[in-house]
């Protein structure tokens, strides 16, 4: 499994990212969010803890944390689609293809 750490060798660049670098950074960030979901099993762990306690406030917070990973991927996907119509077109084609395969 690939390991994602940081997309750039330094934490803060002395210059602004150009459009292509920004698109690459967003793709990288999306991959990192998926990695967080898979490697740390964050969603499942937080949901299981929430189901194991009686404290409703704790359950609400834990479930919110679990959903954050999903939301982050959605945020980044939306931004990527706005910045890169090529990616948006490819994702739509993938969805359409999957719908066609499932309906067969």
Mean pLDDT of the 59-87 span: 87
Whether pTM exceeds 0.95? no
Question: Residue 25's CB: how many other CB atoms inside 10 A?
Answer: 16
Tell me, yes or no, whether 4 lies in a domain.
no
Tell me, yes or no, whether 65 lies in a domain.
yes
CA distances, 5 to each of 9, 25, 29, 50 (Å): 10, 12, 10, 29
For 84, residues 6+ apart whose C-beta sits below 8 A from its C-beta are 23
Tell me, yes or no, whether 2 lies in a domain.
no
Q: Provide the number of structural domains found in the chain.
A: 1
For the cut 80, the answer to whether the pLDDT of residue 54 exceeds it is: yes
Tell me, yes or no, whether 36 lies in a domain.
yes
Mean pLDDT of the 10-30 span: 82
Domain span holding position 58: 19-103
Tell me, yes or no, whether 3 lies in a domain.
no
Tell me, yes or no, whether 83 lies in a domain.
yes
For the cut 50, the answer to whether the pLDDT of residue 1 exceeds it is: no
Tell me, yes or no, whether 98 lies in a domain.
yes
For the cut 60, the answer to whether the pLDDT of residue 11 exceeds it is: no
For the cut 50, the answer to whether the pLDDT of residue 77 exceeds it is: yes
Mean pLDDT of the 37-45 span: 65
Tell me, yes or no, whether 29 lies in a domain.
yes
């Amino acid at each position: 499994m690939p390991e994602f750490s940081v997309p750039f060798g330094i934490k803060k660049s002395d210059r602004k990212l150009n459009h292509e670098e920004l698109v690459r950074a967003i793709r990288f960030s999306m991959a990192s969010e998926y990695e967080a979901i898979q490697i740390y099993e964050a969603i499942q762990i937080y949901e299981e803890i929430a189901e194991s306690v009686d404290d409703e406030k704790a359950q609400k917070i834990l479930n919110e944390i679990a959903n954050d990973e999903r939301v982050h991927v959605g945020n980044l996907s939306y931004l990527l689609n706005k910045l890169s119509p090529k990616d948006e077109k490819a994702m739509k084609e993938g969805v359409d293809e999957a719908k066609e395969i499932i309906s067969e």
